[in-house]
């Protein structure tokens, strides 16, 4: 899915956090949005992922603006996956149950558990596994409906460096299979894995490079 941000501006009250952002996310690419805290990267990610409407400008998804997509909840469920800094797994469900909860077709669950290396943990609860394993389950949950693109906001913020690199490697692996990833991160190591780097500073795109 091609995503285009056109003239995006956003305010929180009187504070302007995005100032005329124009970017294009190509289908199947691994795109990293980097920048310091307060640079606007998380706000931009929220707008690109349909979770937040910009104050000015618009985002197009394969040439259609948000109002032309019909049922936005259905659009998200079938086209978009989400991974956050905190895994938000439901504590009283097993890892497998968490992944299957929003699945359109449950048949994908076991293959994802296998490909993410956590099939042996499928019947455990989130407090019985490590932080890296919880985040792998969260990634499986994001991928379970075979979305066109997965948005991730600081997905390695609570992980050590080894597990953080493991997450980037997983994103890279799945992007090579055709799933797009757009990841907001302050970790500059992500540049070693992403196809495109969008560097934000003070609400504007400072530089785009590969």
Q: What is the pTM of this model?
A: 0.95
Determine contact, residues 137/86, Cβ cutoff 8 Å: no
* pLDDT tens figures, 128-153: 999 999 999 999 999 999 999 999 99
Contacts of 176 (CB under 8 A, 6+ apart): none
Q: Which of 78, 83, 172 is nearest to 136 (CA)?
A: 83
Mean pLDDT of the chain: 94
Phi/psi class of residue 117: alpha, beta or left (left: φ > 0; alpha: ψ in -120 to 50)?
left
The model's confidence at residue 85, banded by pLDDT at 50, 70 and 90, is: confident
- Strand 30-34 relative to strand 180-185, pairing: parallel
Secondary-structure breakdown of the chain: helix, strand, coil percentages, each rounded to the nearest 5: 35, 30, 35
pLDDT exceeds 90 at position 21? yes
Q: What would the DSSP string read from start to end of 7-31? A: EEEEEETTEEEEEEEEEEE-TT-EE
Going from N- to C-terminal start, the domains of the chain cover 3-209
What is the topology classification, in CATH, of domain 3-209? Answer: Rossmann fold (3.40.50)
Contacts of 165 (CB under 8 A, 6+ apart): 189
Buried b (16+ CB within 10 A) or exposed e, 174-202: bbeeebbbbbbbebeebbebbbbbbbbee
pLDDT exceeds 90 at position 84? no
Q: Which residues pair with 193 in a beta bridge?
A: none
Percentage of the chain lying above the pLDDT 90 cut:
90
Strands (E), 110-203: 149-153, 180-185, 196-201
**Sheet of strand 3-12, all strands in order from the earlier edge strand to the far edge:** 15-25, 3-12, 56-61, 64-65
* pLDDT tens figures, 23-53: 999 999 999 999 999 999 999 999 999 999 9
């Amino acid at each position: 899915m091609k995503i285009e941000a056109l003239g995006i501006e956003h305010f929180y009250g009187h504070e302007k956090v995005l100032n005329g952002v124009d970017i294009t996310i190509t289908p199947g690419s691994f795109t990293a949005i980097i920048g310091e805290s307060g640079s606007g990267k998380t706000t931009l990610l929220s707008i690109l992922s349909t979770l937040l409407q910009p104050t000015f400008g618009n985002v197009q998804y394969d040439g259609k603006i948000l109002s032309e997509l019909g049922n936005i909840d259905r659009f998200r469920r079938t086209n978009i996956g989400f991974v956050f800094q905190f895994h938000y797994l439901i504590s009283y469900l097993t890892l497998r149950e968490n992944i299957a909860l929003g699945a359109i077709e449950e048949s994908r669950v076991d293959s994802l558990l296998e490909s993410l290396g956590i099939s042996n943990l499928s019947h455990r609860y989130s407090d019985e596994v490590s932080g890296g394993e919880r985040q792998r389950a969260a990634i499986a949950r994001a991928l379970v409906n075979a979305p066109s693109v997965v948005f991730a906001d600081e997905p390695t913020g609570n992980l050590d460096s080894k597990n953080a690199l493991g997450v980037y490697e997983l994103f890279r692996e799945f992007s090579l299979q055709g799933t797009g990833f757009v990841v907001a991160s302050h970790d500059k190591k992500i540049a070693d894995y992403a196809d495109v780097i969008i560097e934000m500073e003070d609400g504007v795109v400072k530089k785009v490079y590969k």
